[in-house]
Chain A
Amino acid sequence: MNILQTRNITKQYGKTKAVDNVSMAIQKGDIYGLIGKNGAGKTTLMRMITALTFANNGELELFGQTSESGLNNARRRMGSVVETPALYPNLTAQQNLEYYRILRGIPDKSAVNNALQAVKLTDTGKKKFKNFSLGMKQRLGLALALLNNPDFIILDEPINGLDPMGIVEMREMIKNLNAERGITFMISSHILSELSLIATRYGIIHDGRLIKELTEEELREQCQRCLSVKVDDTAKCANILETVLNTTKFKVVGDNEIRLYDYFDNSSEVTFQLNANGVRVSALSEIGDNLEDYFVNLIGGEHCA
């Protein structure tokens, strides 16, 4: 089931397209990592989903709703922190959440404490929001997003500015909420290595366009460490790998390349056997990306986000 679907959604500022014909889908249970450089269009896309700005073209579907009133109703099932967590600076964590509990008409008064417990902010007492550290602010933002027991949460750079402990805590909280409560997440982050630890699906946005969507498995496959063997005859090479080297952990890529997910520590044996059996090896190298390398390669080697 799709929680969110966009169809050719476009946002234009003057002549600049901040988001250009983006069609994407987020399914129930996903932790969707949105990756892109600064100014790629991630926040604009999130702002359209959260009704902070409006698309010039295209359609937005949230929980199956596409009309204006339907989308507003659907947004009640959603929590979000877009850009920085915005709360009243002179209120405490408890008071801020109580304000939103009343505003959202949540009858259960324990919702405030439950949300604070979920983000481990129950002991802030009379400390006002303006005196919170960035990590506490981020956690309170997440508590606010959790207040109405949402099915879908949008977090824009949730680990931005956090210390290493804060990053680990935020990651664990997101993973737990996804696993235990089944909450679907859409998260943008600059810290791609962190994103790769929690996301189950990825969307890569560049210059306003969604250039790639892939699952965790697809990414792992794309980024998996392997030996790239360039040969003159891939069919014969595959046969030798199976019969002589006794491995099936390989994939034929194109007309003259085989990716071998085995024999990392003994690549010379691979070269020797292939040559000995009449396959000419023109190149053999170890390859494999992490998410950051993959992202940089995909957008054409420009500076990473």
Chain B
Amino acid sequence: MRNIIKADLYRIFRSKGVYITLLIFIATAILQVTSNGEAAIGVFAGAPLEVPYEETASAPNLGEGNMMRIITGKSAPFIIATYTDNLIFFLLPFIVFISAADFKNGTVKNLLSSGTNRVKYYFAKLIMITGASIFLILLNLFVTIITATIKNGFKGSFNIAWLSQIAEIYLPQLYLLFVFGCIGVFFIFIFKNTAALNTIYIAYSFLPVIIISILLSFSEKFEFLPEYDLVLNMKSFAYSSEMDIVNFMAPNLTRTLILGGVYIIACTIGGIALFRKSEVK
């Protein structure tokens, strides 16, 4: 399994695609900060929002007495946490580089015919996806904090309390991102086709939220549905009262762990069981 991972790393970092994806990813992360870097406060609803003083700046363009909210290095992780669900889509190319490429190019045949155990092969891919998920979350955090710090300063202290606040939001999100990785790996091992993976994975990420929204617009009895959606669960961890954003659904770690666990177990057991006896073209 270690050899599969080492060899995949050797291969992936020799592909232009991975660097192009990373460049786009970094550009998006920077845009998350720069495009949301300023917001007028104190002019809405006649009452000022409670924003720490160090995260404000005067906004003369908006009239006297108005302030602008700025994203600092310290506040950036909490504000951009609402965009972590974008990483689901950035994880897709990594699933393709890591796993789908073997099926697309037929190289999976070389592995299996040389005695690679199918279960170990599957787990090696899952480990790689875990690594990719961690890498994306960390890179997203790093780029946004650095960008916000360069633009507006860090405006706070780098301490354990701040890190643990970040962990409270991002660890559950990382867990859910990994769940999407498991789903992606499951799809590719079942369909063995990149186009099918892309279509189904993207549909699986979008459609539940759309369907839930439609159903909720018809009846309130579907209010429980958002709790079963991975993307909405991911978003729920991003909103905190500190950021003064109204949360549509309270974050619930137990619920998220169980929901994600069901997906991880179902996808992994199902994927391995089907791949173990499946034909490889």
Contact = CB atoms under 8 A, between A and B. Distances in A.
Do A and B originate from a single complex? yes
Given A53-B280, A89-B105, A105 B114 contact: no
Interface stretch (A92-100, A164-172, A198-206, A277-285): A92-100
Contact of A102 (B7, B107, B114, B117): B7
A57 interface: no
Contacts of A98: 10
A53 B278 CA distance: 7
Contacts, number: 83
B105 A103 contact: no
A102 B110 contact: no
B7 A86 contact: no
Count class of interface residues, chain A = 35 or more
B113 A99 contact: no
A88 to B, nearest CB: 6
Contact of A88 (B3, B101, B109): B101
B107 A52 contact: no
A75 B114 CA distance: 5
Contacts of B116: 72, 103
B138 interface: no
A83 B112 CA distance: 14
A104 B115 CA distance: 9
Given A86-B106, A86-B110, A102-B3, A54 B117 contact: no
B221 interface: no
A82 B108 CA distance: 12
A52 B275 CA distance: 11
Nearest to A86: B106
Given A53-B280, A88-B107, A91-B11, A103 B3 contact: yes
B115 A72 contact: yes
A130 to B, nearest CB: 10
B255 interface: no
A87 B107 CA distance: 6
A99 B114 contact: no
User: Which among B4, B111, B115 has the highest number of chain A CB atoms within 10 Å?
Assistant: B115
B104 to A, nearest CB: 9
B7 A54 contact: no
B192 to A, nearest CB: 12
Contacts of B112: 50-52
Contacts of A100: 7, 110, 114
Contact of A78 (B14, B105, B111, B114): B114
B278 to A, nearest CB: 9
Contacts of A71: 115
B155 interface: no
Contacts of B115: 51, 71-76, 78
Contacts of B7: 99-100, 102-103
Nearest to B108: A86
A178 interface: no
Given A91-B11, A91-B14, A95-B14, A80 B113 contact: yes
A90 B15 contact: yes
Contacts of B109: 50, 52, 82-83, 86
Nearest to A73: B115
A53 B256 CA distance: 38
A144 interface: yes
A104 B116 CA distance: 9
Given A76-B114, A78-B114, A80-B113, A102 B6 contact: yes
A98 B15 CA distance: 14
B260 to A, nearest CB: 31
User: Which among A72, A82, A89 has the highest number of chain B CB atoms within 10 Å?
Assistant: A72
Interface string B70-114: 000000000000000000000000000000010001110111111
A72 B279 CA distance: 16
User: Which among B6, B10, B16, B101 has the highest number of chain A CB atoms within 10 Å?
Assistant: B10
Interface in A79-124: 79-80, 82-84, 86-91, 95, 98-100, 102-105
A53 B3 contact: no
A131 B213 CA distance: 49
A103 B4 contact: yes
A84 B113 contact: no
A69 B120 CA distance: 12
Interface in A29-83: 47, 50-54, 69, 71-76, 78-80, 82-83
Given A51-B112, A103-B116, 4 more contacts: A72-B117, A82-B109, A86-B110, A87-B110
17 contacts: A52-B109, A54-B277, A71-B115, A74-B115, A75-B114, A76-B114, A79-B114, A80-B113, A87-B105, A88-B11, A90-B14, A95-B11, A95-B14, A98-B10, A102-B6, A102-B10, A103-B116
Interface of A: 47, 50-54, 69, 71-76, 78-80, 82-84, 86-91, 95, 98-100, 102-105, 144, 148, 154
What 3 pairs between A and B have smallest CB-CB spacing? A86-B106, A75-B115, A50-B113
Interface of B: 3-4, 6-7, 10-11, 14-16, 101, 105-107, 109-117, 277, 279-281
